[in-house]
Amino acid sequence: MTSLISRAGARFGALLPARADLTDMRRGPRRDLLAGLTVAIVALPLALGFGVSSGLGAEAGLATAVVAGALAALFGGSNLQVSGPTGAMTVVLVPIVGAYGPAGVLTVGLMAGVMLVVLAALRTGKYMQYVPAPVVEGFTLGIACVIGLQQIPSALGVPKPEGDRVLVVTWRAVEEFARHPNWTAVGLAAAVAAVMLVGARLRPTVPFSILAVIAATVVAQLAGLDAAEPIGDLPSGLPAPSLGFLELDSLGTLLAPAVAVAALAALESLLSASVADGMTVGRRHDPDRELFGQGLANIAAPMFGGVPATGAIARTAVNVRTGAGSRLAALVHAAILAVIVFAAAPLVSRIPLAALAGVLLATAVRMVEVGSLRAMARATRADALILVLTAIATLALDLVYAVIIGLAVAGVLALRAVAGQARFDQVPLDRGDHSVEEHALLAEHIVAYRIDGPLFFAAAHRFLLELTEVADVRVVILRMSRVSTMDATGALVVKDAVEKLTRRGILVLASGIRPGQHQVLDSVGALHLLRPDGRDYATTPEAIRGARDHLERAGVLPAGAARQEQQAVPNSADSPEFREEPAP
């Protein structure tokens, strides 16, 4: 018991901040301060916009950026990750707000945070690497489309229609705009998006998002554009932490949405941390610690009225490009946003919603990497199919279902490809194609089958069909040294095939069975069928000699014929065709 507690304590201790983190923050504080300032400028309109899009308001987005951003930076597993409200999470939160209200969203965020901490304790972060690239690309494309469509009501200057399906809401917003056009809102949104997209191409290092938002706000105020609806009043500071939103009776009904939020937070955060690793040299994040940091961030953010948070790819990329060297940059970003909340709330409240919609429209466009999508679509048909299905599912269903569908399709196609690698070669197959050594076996009514690759449920059916079609044969030798994988289904098929051949009077021997496969074959009752004479054959030459001895005893071969045959063709059993080679 003491050792168990000790191991648990050591595992938990590995997830906490270490002295090395403080050492990193002392190395280049000036560049980290500059990077944090730049990221805060980029993050401000995004935090406001995603808060509004989620349905909880701009103040919720700011609270998330400050609280979750600071905690994830301090406890997370990446030195360069920047966390906060994101478009992907907003996509998931919109239907939750509609079904359960703001209190439900806060409860879901808290529950998801606890789940992330549990996932970190169970060391599940490493499994992120198994998500196929086409799933990630399709997921990102679908998210970009959903984020863009979510901004249509604000960009058109119409009230957001009822509904939780983004395509339906978008269509209703367009219909409302057709009845009551608001060209002021359209102009502001289009101008902000255009400035961001064009500016990013000309001067990538300049934060055009905040410049465009400031310009749009000044124009709206000076010109008295009443049609440009502002964000509205914001509190001058964060609310006191509270669990007043938590209703224990509703935890059961909110479990499924919480699982979806936790899954998305884990996926997007680990993906963003991997992107940060790829942009630097010698940097590697700790996936379990990253889950732990995101869990703490999502436990704390709802207490301050914030929405669930994840690692933000765009803000993380800005952080890396501006020279951040430690987690101090992400902490500075959160601190600057906190100062803005306390000191500039009246000014921020005047920003037009259409301007924020323009920021998010440009963000959605910049999320789509055309070159990467084109390369993925051209790679293989399977990759293209997975990408398209994941993107469509993200748009039509929701993000968690999209990832599940993408992983399921990828898994099926991968199994199909692996099963196609399984080879089942008969030696000899035809007198005209093989050597005199093999012809000697054919004359003795012996046939050897070499099985290469995996023998599991995806390939087992073909194995059974081919094996039971043998004719004019008295002994079948299964050469199994190159079987790389065998599951229960494959072992059952072997058993079925051996039983059918035995009923036809055909003896079945096996050579080169691996120790791990002994257990699988024995568990389904197939191992003893492959040992009709009570012995194992380590190599095919041994099995051939055993088959000849059996045929002599059965009278099929005259006594001594096997020895005479081996003298006439001395290498028949030891021919390279029959040498045992382990599976690669």
Is the per-residue pLDDT at 158 higher than 60? Answer: yes
Is the per-residue pLDDT at 79 higher than 80? Answer: yes
List the one residue out of 223, 149, 159 whose CA is nearest residue 187: 223
Residue 431: band (very low, low, confident or very high) from pLDDT cuts 50, 70, 90: very low
What is the model's pLDDT at position 573?
42
List the one residue out of 174, 274, 182, 284 whose CA is nearest residue 225: 182
Task: Please give the structure tokens belonging to residue 249.
Answer: 């009776």
**Residue 452 parent element (H or E):** strand 446-455
Q: Which residue has the higher pLDDT, 570 or 462?
A: 462
What is the model's pLDDT at position 457?
54
Residue 54: band (very low, low, confident or very high) from pLDDT cuts 50, 70, 90: confident
Q: What is the mean pLDDT of the chain?
A: 77
Query: Span 113-127, mean pLDDT?
Result: 87
Query: Span 11-32, mean pLDDT?
Result: 74
Query: Span 526-547, mean pLDDT?
Result: 79
What is the model's pLDDT at position 428?
47
Residue 226: band (very low, low, confident or very high) from pLDDT cuts 50, 70, 90: low
Query: Span 457-472, mean pLDDT?
Result: 59
What is the model's pLDDT at position 298?
94
Point out the least confidently predicted range of 32-46, 434-448, 549-563, 567-581.
567-581
Residue 458: band (very low, low, confident or very high) from pLDDT cuts 50, 70, 90: low
Please state, as a whole number, how many other Cβ atoms lie within 10 Å of the Cβ of residue 232.
13
Is the per-residue pLDDT at 383 higher than 50? Answer: yes
Looking at the chain, the whole-number percentage of residues with pLDDT higher than 90 is 8
Task: Please give the structure tokens belonging to residue 380.
Answer: 């293989």
Residue environment code for 340-352, b if the CB has 16+ CB neighbours within 10 A, otherwise e = bbeeebeebbebb
Cis peptide before 428 (omega within 30 of 0): yes
Query: Span 567-582, mean pLDDT?
Result: 46
What is the model's pLDDT at position 568?
42
Task: Please give the structure tokens belonging to residue 18.
Answer: 């270490």
Residues 479, 476: Cα–Cα separation, whole Å: 10
Residues 139, 394: Cα–Cα separation, whole Å: 6
Helix (H, G, I), strand (E, B) or coil at 508: strand
Query: Span 510-517, mean pLDDT?
Result: 80
pLDDT digits (tens, 9 = 90+) for 333-358: 999 888 887 887 788 778 888 888 88
Sequence-distant (≥ 6) Cβ neighbours of residue 347 within 8 angstroms = none
Residues 478, 508: Cα–Cα separation, whole Å: 7
Residues 341, 335: Cα–Cα separation, whole Å: 10
What is the model's pLDDT at position 493?
77
Residue 246: band (very low, low, confident or very high) from pLDDT cuts 50, 70, 90: confident
Q: Which residue has the higher pLDDT, 237 or 32?
A: 32
Is the per-residue pLDDT at 435 higher than 50? Answer: no
Residue 300: band (very low, low, confident or very high) from pLDDT cuts 50, 70, 90: very high
Helix (H, G, I), strand (E, B) or coil at 164: coil
What is the model's pLDDT at position 117?
92
What is the model's pLDDT at position 56?
86
Task: State how far Cα 259 lies from the chain centre.
Answer: 15
Is the per-residue pLDDT at 576 higher than 60? Answer: no
Is the per-residue pLDDT at 418 higher than 80? Answer: no
pLDDT digits (tens, 9 = 90+) for 145-157: 877 888 888 888 8
Sequence-distant (≥ 6) Cβ neighbours of residue 523 within 8 angstroms = 488, 491
pLDDT digits (tens, 9 = 90+) for 167-223: 888 888 888 888 888 888 888 888 888 988 888 788 877 777 778 888 888 888 877
Kindly report the pTM of this predicted structure.
Answer: 0.67
- DSSP letters of 210-248? HHHHHHHHHHHHHTT-TTS-B-----SSPPPP--TT--G
- Tokens 């808290």 correspond to 110
Helix (H, G, I), strand (E, B) or coil at 488: helix
